[in-house]
């Protein structure tokens, strides 16, 4: 049976031999651009291959399906979240540490602004694909953030402000591709930090 248009196995295929070491990253980068510009559903593996100047078989060598490419891009965001949380370690989260976390997150995410644009424009496809896949990673991140905001040693107003500051940062970044597309990254970063400090002025 012939492989489907979006899924195939090419083990042993001549097209998959001697591919450049960075081919996987090139596939992800081109897919990120196409998914952001025209949407996941309207982008075919053939378009991705043509943009790269490779065969579809070469894509199948790295990804079993178009959905696997989508998930790999989505998990890049998870990795940045994990990096920020690792910086906290096992310390109890104070407002000051929370501001440091958000500051680091702003820097990391603005360096990957295209990922937020991609994520915002392909939410439905990501949610559909997320069912049953990488749920443990997603839940681990959510649990760590919930733990940070559940520290009863902090006043409830402080925890609410910390939550609002996080929402302000994530909302500003998520909308940066459409609502704030003309705003330079450095200026957007400064405005996001101003919002954080307005919510947590003593940090």
Angle at 173 between CA 104 and CA 151, to 5 degrees: 55
119 with 191, same domain: the answer is yes
Of the residues 48, 64, 80, which one is the last residue of a structural domain? 64
172 with 135, same domain: the answer is yes
Residue 135 covered by a domain: yes
164 with 186, same domain: the answer is yes
Q: CA-to-CA distance for 134 and 4, rounded, in angstroms?
A: 24
193 with 154, same domain: the answer is yes
pLDDT at 16: 40
Residue 152 covered by a domain: yes
117 with 184, same domain: the answer is yes
57 with 78, same domain: the answer is no
Residue 25 sits in a domain whose CATH number is 1.10.10.60
pLDDT at 61: 93
**Main-chain phi, psi angles of 17, to 5 degrees:** -85, 140
In the structure encoding, which two tokens stand for residue 176, read together?
């940066």
Residue 103 covered by a domain: yes
pLDDT at 69: 96
166 with 108, same domain: the answer is yes
59 with 79, same domain: the answer is no
Give the pLDDT means over successive 10-residue stretches in the chain (203 positions): 42 41 89 94 96 95 94 82 66 84 86 83 84 57 76 91 91 78 89 94 76
Of the residues 31, 64, 97, which one is the last residue of a structural domain? 64
Residue 86 covered by a domain: yes
The number of domains in the chain is 2
22 with 100, same domain: the answer is no
Residue 173 sits in a domain whose CATH number is 1.10.357
36 with 133, same domain: the answer is no
91 with 178, same domain: the answer is yes
Name the residue range of residue 135's domain. Answer: 68-199
47-65 in b/e burial notation, b at 16+ Cβ within 10 A?
ebbeebebbbbbbbbbbeb
The DSSP bridge partners found for residue 76 are none
77 with 133, same domain: the answer is yes
């Amino acid at each position: 049976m012939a492989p489907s248009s979006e899924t195939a196995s090419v083990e042993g295929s001549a097209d998959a031999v001697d591919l450049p070491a960075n081919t996987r990253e090139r596939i992800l980068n081109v897919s990120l651009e196409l998914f952001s510009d025209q949407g996941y559903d309207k982008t075919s593996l053939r378009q991705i291959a043509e943009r790269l100047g490779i065969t579809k078989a070469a894509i199948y060598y790295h990804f079993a399906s178009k959905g696997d490419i989508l998930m790999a891009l989505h998990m890049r965001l998870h990795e940045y979240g994990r990096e920020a949380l690792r910086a906290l370690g096992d310390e109890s989260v104070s407002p000051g540490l929370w501001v440091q976390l958000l500051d680091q997150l702003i820097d990391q995410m603005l360096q990957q602004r295209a990922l937020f644009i991609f994520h915002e424009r392909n939410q439905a496809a990501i949610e559909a694909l997320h069912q049953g896949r990488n749920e443990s990673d997603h839940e681990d991140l959510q649990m760590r953030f919930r733990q940070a905001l559940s520290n009863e040693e902090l006043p409830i107003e402080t925890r609410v402000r910390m939550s609002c500051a996080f929402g302000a940062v994530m909302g500003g970044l998520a909308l940066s591709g459409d609502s704030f597309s003309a705003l330079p990254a450095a200026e957007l970063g400064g405005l996001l930090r101003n919002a954080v400090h307005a919510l947590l002025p003593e940090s």
